[in-house]
Amino acid sequence: MRAAVVVFPGSNCDRDLAVAFEQAGFDVTMVWHKDASLPAGLDIVGVPGGFSYGDYLRCGAIAAQSPICKAVVEHTERGGYAMGVCNGFQILTETGILPGALLRNAGLKYICKTVGLKVATSDSVFTQGYNAGDVIGIPIAHHDGNYYADDKTLAMLRDQDRVAFTYAENPNGSCGDIAGILSENRRVLGMMPHPERAADAGHGGTDGAALFRALAGVLAPA
Ligand SMILES: NC(=O)CC[C@H](N)C(=O)O
């Protein structure tokens, strides 16, 4: 199984995401933002957290214009799997791969703590290792994690069962307590909390590991 992790100037969770993929059994290739293509035979691309391009303009806005993001868009348009964590989620919304936007936290402060995350659907390759309704402990670390979408988009996400995770206690003002969403074909996940920071006993929590294990279970060659 092959995963790629995109690296932007300012990414700081790229290695963590790579290790989480590796521990689940993926071979991982790091891909630089200036590369115009993804490795052949890829099973999933990870867009990591961090401060791409210093968060200038808007978090993820400049990264979304990079050569590699054009390749990520094409990969998802072909039905390829992708997941974006934190800044990666911001980038996926800026590319238009996922709907909505991440605004400044309602309290205008950077928040770094472990939060209770409710699994809203187990119907995806990312969340099938959990039961809907499970509350898991996953760290957040962001100042722009306030998910916004207009009412029509929120209704569509709910109707299509595309809300992956909600916050048990909303830390940032996100519409509908939304912490993570799925694409229409359920093959792209964007989430603000960091499952790769709770994927190993050394992290102090392992609730994120089931996400990577589930992915590996589905994407493993038969
Ligand atoms: N951990 C992250 O990816 C941070 C994302 C972004 N720089 C923010 O603070 O909102």
Instruction: Give tens-digit pLDDT for 115-152.
Output: 999 999 999 999 999 999 999 999 999 999 999 999 99
Is pLDDT at 222 greater than 80 in this prediction? Answer: no
Please say whether the beta carbons of 8 and 50 come within 8 A: yes
Single pTM value for the model: 0.97
Average model confidence (pLDDT) for the chain?
Answer: 97
Backbone angles phi, psi at 76, to 5 degrees: -70, -35
- In the chain, where the domains are located: 2-219
Ligand 1 centre to CA of 57 (Å) is 14
Question: What 3-state DSSP class applies to 188?
Answer: strand
Q: How far apart are CA 95 and CA 43, in angstroms?
A: 20
Nearest CA to ligand 1 atom 3: 49
Please report the pLDDT score of residue 220 as a whole number: 82
Spatial CB neighbours of 78, under 8 Å, sequence gap ≥ 6: none
Which residue, among 128, 95, 123, has the nearest Cα to 212 in the 3D structure? 128
Q: Which top CATH class is 2-219?
A: alpha beta
Q: Which two tokens stand for residue 104?
A: 């400044």
For tokens 């992956």, the residue is: 164
Q: How far apart are CA 181 and CA 197, in angstroms?
A: 19
Q: What is the best residue among 142, 174, 192 to mutate for testing ligand 1's pocket, by most ligand atoms within 8 Å of CB?
A: 142
Nearest CA to ligand 1 atom 8: 142
Residues with CB under 6 A from ligand 1: 49-51, 55, 59, 86-87, 141-145
Q: How far apart are CA 220 and CA 215, in angstroms?
A: 8
The yes-or-no answer on residue 196 being catalytic is: yes
Please report the pLDDT score of residue 219 as a whole number: 86
Which residue, among 113, 92, 100, 96, has the nearest Cα to 6 in the 3D structure? 92
Quick one: the chain helix, strand, coil %, rounded to 5? 30, 30, 40
Q: Which two tokens stand for residue 185?
A: 């074909």
Please report the pLDDT score of residue 122 as a whole number: 98
Q: How far apart are CA 152 and CA 175, in angstroms?
A: 12
The yes-or-no answer on residue 59 being catalytic is: no
Catalytic residue among 69, 86, 94, 142: 86
Ligand 1 centre to CA of 111 (Å) is 10
The yes-or-no answer on residue 194 being catalytic is: yes
Where helices occur in 96-188 by DSSP H, the ranges are: 151-159
Start-to-end C-alpha separation, the chain: 11
Grade residue 32 by pLDDT with cuts at 50, 70 and 90. Answer: very high
Please report the pLDDT score of residue 221 as a whole number: 77
